[in-house]
Chain A
Amino acid sequence: RKEVEQDPGPFNVPEGATVAFNCTYSNSASQSFFWYRQDCRKEPKLLMSVYSSGNEDGRFTAQLNRASQYISLLIRDSKLSDSATYLCVVIRVSGTYKYIFGTGTRLKVLA
């Protein structure tokens, strides 16, 4: 079993829809969490950090559920420009900080 698991998708949604992705992690020692966005054939870029209290940035909301060991990303009012792959990143301490990447969930927003 992978340490960080994501549904690969693709999630095909119409413009304006609300879509949510989950990411599960297996190591309870995981310390911090991020969502990165990766456009086709480009590098990953930080979308948002995920705090214990949850956080919101415009149309994007990220939440953490430590008891069930998953994080989620909610995108409201989807735009065509939201089409990308969303990578879940989990950081745990193992000597140094180890970044564990999920394989990503692909989102296609359709006109």
Chain B
Amino acid sequence: NAGVTQTPKFQVLKTGQSMTLQCAQDMNHEYMSWYRQDPGMGLRLIHYSVGAGITDQGEVPNGYNVSRSTTEDFPLRLLSAAPSQTSVYFCASRKGRSAYNEQFFGPGTRLTVL
């Protein structure tokens, strides 16, 4: 199993550009999430999905869109990049509804917006 994979690893954008961060998992997990991690702050939830075709907003959804057309893939789209979106982005997945299920994280995408 590759686990959770993310591409690209690094990205530099100019203000106003759009892009898609890719995330895929091969563990057949129902739940997938996108987080951002900024210095001095815990990971903050952007969007999440409880299964194919179902997505919902997290704590900091503004400026981001997601879709979940398959169980495996959960791309995150930045509509019009802003310097405030400079961050490290982690995709995560977990199985089922139990509060004790482990979340598996991808290796992250380091995004800089100039």
Least Cβ–Cβ distance between A10 and chain B, in angstroms: 14
Known: A44-B105, A45-B105. A104 touches B42 (CB 8 A): yes
A22 interfacial by beta-carbon distance below 8 Å: no
Encoded as 1 (CB less than 8 Å from any B CB) or 0, chain A from 23 to 46 comes to 000000001101000000011111
Of B42, B99, B107, which one neighbours A103 at CB under 8 angstroms? B42
A48 to B42, CA, bound (A): 18
Q: Are B103 and A43 in contact (CB under 8 A)?
A: no
B40 interfacial by beta-carbon distance below 8 Å: yes
B50 interfacial by beta-carbon distance below 8 Å: yes
Q: How many residues of A contact B (CB 8 A)?
A: 24
Q: Are B100 and A43 in contact (CB under 8 A)?
A: no
Q: Are B100 and A101 in contact (CB under 8 A)?
A: no
Known: A43-B90, A44-B43, A103-B41. A32 touches B107 (CB 8 A): no
Known: A42-B107, A43-B108. A91 touches B99 (CB 8 A): yes
Least Cβ–Cβ distance between A26 and chain B, in angstroms: 13
Of B33, B42, B103, B108, which one neighbours A100 at CB under 8 angstroms? B42
A43 to B43, CA, bound (A): 11
Least Cβ–Cβ distance between A100 and chain B, in angstroms: 7
Of A46, A93, A98, A102, which one neighbours B42 at CB under 8 angstroms? A102
Question: Ordered nearest first, which 10 A-B pairs have the shortest CB separation?
Answer: A101-B42, A43-B105, A101-B43, A32-B99, A46-B102, A91-B99, A97-B99, A103-B42, A31-B99, A44-B105
Cβ contacts A to B, 17 pairs, < 8 Å: A4-B42, A42-B107, A42-B108, A43-B107, A43-B108, A44-B105, A46-B103, A96-B48, A96-B50, A98-B45, A99-B33, A99-B43, A99-B45, A99-B103, A102-B42, A103-B40, A103-B41
